[in-house]
Structure 1
Amino acid sequence: MDEGFERLIEPFRTELLAYCYRMLGSVHDAEDLVQEIYLRAWRARERYDAARASLRTWLYRIATNACLTALEGRGRRPMPSGLVAESDPLAPLVRGENLAWLQPLPDSLLDAGDPAGTVIERSSLRLAFAAALQHLSARQRGALILRDVLGFSAAEAAEILGTTTVSVNSSLQQARTRVKEAGVRREPPGEPSAAEQRAWVDRYMKAFAHADVEGIKRLLTDDVVMEMPPMINWFAGRDNYGLFMEWVFGAAGTDWLMEPVTANGQPGLVAYRRAGDGYAIHTLQIFTVTAGGISRNSVFQDAEIFASFGLPTELDG
């Protein structure tokens, strides 16, 4: 009975991880919470009533309760562009003190449990959408994710959230309005294929490795945005981007190694800068790519995030 129950619930682990990430905005918190969810499910296994709810709905009820509890008293996890006004690209970098930032989610954590990419809707994990969710209340997030992303009915969502269908529909409407006001769509129209997006970023990697600022600028949209938590600085525009990259190469040198990564269903890179006889990790960069080029670069420089991607901190020369 117990072993059979484990086999029944194990296939839901990856999608529950994605759900907790959308709710919490933290990879590490989501991983920890999934472990707690499975412990709660194990302890409550004798009380599961298949006649009342499907196993998936029951697990999401446990997951939602755990997420709502975890979110009590916590601030949201923003990105700099959703928190402060635009910066001068040459202004001193300022670290956001006592702020918990949105974290990127390594695709590798999902690929292991969903190799065909059929269970997890990757577009709903995009950084821009994940950041927009952070502007919603916990219950608004739950309603939007359960209804619009996961496809639960209003009645099922009400059962999961422990409320009424009227309350779910109200929260859903408010959440849709706020996300729309933020100008975010899970899957923008005319978006390039994954292979085309990777090709844009591969060209960016080559230009970066050669410290070719003009080459980088040619790959950007006019309104490109760069933001770089834990720094609160962010700016927009191709020329501003170029000025910042000139500063980066002047301050950090022109000898770099690049490795491709993927996160939140988006292409990215990890950059290593020359340090003595080898190379030291510098930044993890995740890109939003449109038909006209790279429109956003979300740059992360945090040891906890590097660890979640399994990235070595140093490379041999």
Structure 2
Amino acid sequence: MIQLTGTFLDEVTHDIAPHNWGPAEWARDFDAMRAVGIDTVVLIRCGYRRRATFESAVLRERMGTYPVYLDLVDLFLRQAERCGMAFYFGTYDSGTFWTAGRYQEEADLNKALADEVVERYGDRPAFRGWYISHEIDAYDEGVMTVYEDLAAHLRGLKDQPIFISPYIRGVKQFGDAALSLGEHVRSWADVFARLDGLVDVVAFQDGNVSLGDLPEFLAENRRLAAAHGLTSWSNVESFSRDVPIKFPPIDHRVLRYKMEAAAAAGVDKLITFEFSHFLSPHSVYPAARNLYLRQVEFLESQGFDGADARALHAAAR
């Protein structure tokens, strides 16, 4: 079955609208995720600049983070445990150090934070992996040092799978500065050679290349990952980059095409950025509830029992 089975959770962001949800709203959204087969949730980042998902002493002291009124890490872990899902913890993005070339400061801050996270949440049964939130589109020597230092530390704290979700330097975002397929392959061969034994899973974002070129990129990404012992997922973006606003839910015909292309390339798992905003019947975007229903219909066409998902969709009106 071609199915999205994972999603990012994005509540500390800078380019999409907040839900303003509390525990009850998050609980019903986890139910909606489970009803369409999602078994993995990934906190895209535990903090960004001065905003955080839990009251971290490390971030408060070193970054002056604003008060946290609801511990979202605990909330997401509880919901993941209730729904039988795996939870991946996403690292902190300073928005400052690594983008200014201060790579060791970024790594050191995240290592101290990871110590705090494991002490606080490390024994939770849903805590099944790590996500390094720093995204790149090509080989970057400085970020390689962050990945190497941080991944080794995370592995030593809690030996769980570690994954990354890079983007492709494609024409939709970069125009004439985009990398060709050959340039992309050469650059990522170098990246994966450096990450051998440190990172377990790679899930390339699929939205920056044209739909016509996507199958070739997916196939090469899968081949590259396999050559370096990495598990290959695909981050099937459920928002659109093809309209002049940031960012509406995607056309389901495009979503289906991308899922089918990733499945044809042989990836091991389809995840999305991001269910709650762009694919949920409870989203702040009305088009998302239609996308949810179209996805249920697509799953039913493959033999999936969509009764629970349809009931949740109806109840969300």
Bin for the TM-score computed over the shorter chain: under 0.3
* TM-score normalised according to structure 1 size: 0.27
TM-score (norm 2): 0.27
